[in-house]
Structure 1
Amino acid sequence: MGDEERYVGVAERRARLALRHRLAGVTRAAGPQEVADSLVALHGTDPATVYLAVGARLADPARTVAETGRALYEDGGLVRMHGMRHTVFVFPTELTAVVHASTGLTVAARERAALLRDMGKAGAPDAAWLKEVEDAALAALARRGQATATELAEDEPRLREQFVYAAGTGYEGVHTVSTRLLRVLGVEGKVVRGRPLGTWTSSRFRWAVAPAHPELDAAGAQASLLGRWLAACGPATEADLKWWTGWKVTDVRRALAAIGARPVSLDEGVGYVVAGDVGPVAGPAEPWAALLPGLDPTAMGWQRRDWYLAPELRPALFDRSGNVGPTVWWDGRVVGGWAQRPDGEIVWRLLDTEGLGRDAETAIAAEAERLRRWVGTTRVTPRFRTPLEKELSA
């Protein structure tokens, strides 16, 4: 068997995950920028996930809220924007052009066409009118720096206009121009989410003009993004890569060829790593525990998850749409879930106790206490509730 077909087993995949995702104690990061660089992207659909994912990986989590907020809204090291699978993520700012060209442009064209189609069916004004409103809104946003949709509508009243969507169907509803237009502008890379209205757990955001970035070739950008992700998460199968990126399989294969990805053998078939990463990887010297939030990029990183998450645990830990809730990890695998009660207590339950002893439970309890201390008086309820989280938090 050649080197390109070297078998990478479950133990090694878990070792790579521990080291590269900064989950083992010795690998924890000094700041949020290091965490984001290591993971490539932090899920941002639930704002709390960003902070909880960072805090779980910092050597000193007491600084999580202040430093993550500063990176997002002051220093400009991190940007919250639409990315893969039309999902909101937080990226290192240096990746904004890559994400925009590799995944955003295709989705953006589809979203703008859908908006114009829906407006046309509702008898709303045409594309020229929408362009006028768009230009006025962007100019107002540039003047204000950051603003809510309501504030922008003070400068451009046409943003308040409404149209009926899907009239006569079970999906019928009323859409405001500002809601749909700002969403399209976000996918197009013209605006990004700014400071939240409230605490770090708030889902209500101001908008800001997106940072300037060069326009890249789509194929080159796809190769760059896939290479970054494989370095952090490889080995991965074509199915994993297609799922994570949201691309067509032809795009995935072209990007794999462009970066010279190397095949390896996995339990589920052929996987890929970046060139130079075929050799064996030894894990951390000591087993490790972690409490990761709902939608954490490690738990959601692969489509095929049996190597770190037993199928029988999924009904308790996922919602009906496939969103993972808060998870408890021991030495590279999910062993349970956790939640925060109204009084702030962090509670957890083990669902898979195979091979777990007193040391594991002690380490998990220490992680729960570590989380409780830095979260403090803030109460965190995941945006997507899962059966075990709801039960534990009651």
Structure 2
Amino acid sequence: MKYHLLAILPGLTLAGSFPDDDGIAEDTPGIWASSAAVDRGPVDATVPDGATTSHGSPADAIGASDASDDPTVGVVSLGDGGAATLRLSVPVADGSGADLAVFENGFSSAFLELAHVEVSSDGIHFVRFPSISQTQTDTQIGTFAFNGIDPTDLHNLAGKYEAGIGTPFDLAELRGVDPRLDVSHVTHVRVIDVVGSIDPNLGTTDSLGNPINDPFKTNFATGGFDLDAVGAMQAAPTNLPAWTTHHFPTGGATGDEEDPDGDRIPNLLEYATAGDPVHPSGPPLQFAYSGPSPQLTWRKANNRTGVTLILQGSSNLVDWTDLASSTDSAATSGLILGVAVSETAQDSLVTASVTANYTFFRLKAER
């Protein structure tokens, strides 16, 4: 974050710390969400078991932005604390500048309904963009207050702009934050309504722990954040040369077996499992028991070509047997009796239950 020292002059109204001219026009993204699941919140957070919002449907958040300042057009209302989880049509990557844009149907720059944004590389583990609200927290912004929020007081909070202009998010801010997130292979985006009450027992806070003040209550069918669309600008690399250039633009330890971040996962395996080769990633192979049988789970980057992933088993750490494998985006297949494989189509998570007699397991990538 950049900090600025401002001289306070008599009669001068100072803007906040953040730009209000970095919005993304609705014709800019080339990639949009292809599916959405919505968990609506109540119309009134003070009555958590009361009525939930009812306007729109998950389908209204799919595809290109089409909202207007007419609240009845093209949006799904999330309600207080409600959330929408969207799968992008193709995995996307960190590029130059903003990478994602979240669109709401705001009709005034002074009446803004806000939301947190999180991203995931597997649809399971989500990482939140660090948000900041510098809006005053002494007086609650009311239901129909049209002068309560200055967009320059907001950072990484969706809903900062009016209909047709998306709030930008830069994946570079999350690089290396969580070993389970690869910012060159983001598959899902989650949008979570901010409960704008300054009551600490009800309201949402920013990444610094400050209350986020936005219109409250919004106790009607269209209450809370009205999600129009989520767009992205750059598709994730689909072949090894493009992936290598993306992560190593000036060269370096780019060999298949090299491990520049020291996480004991070689580059080719990082490529195949949506890992980050320059920041430590979590273990690509997870182990658990399902009854008496070991169960192995791993993620494969379904959009990437030129690589084969192989699950191997051993009883002595010397002799290894191929148990299951996949090449490129083809489904993973069990290779011997005693290995049952399942795979989620959307999230590219592979699970192998092994009843064959093996004690040790490893995941291998090869060209």
| TM > 0.5 fold call | no
Q: Name whichever structure is richer in strand by fraction.
A: 2
TM-score, structure 1 normalization = 0.21
TM-score, structure 2 normalization = 0.22
Q: Name whichever structure is richer in helix by fraction.
A: 1
Larger of the two Rg values belongs to structure = 2
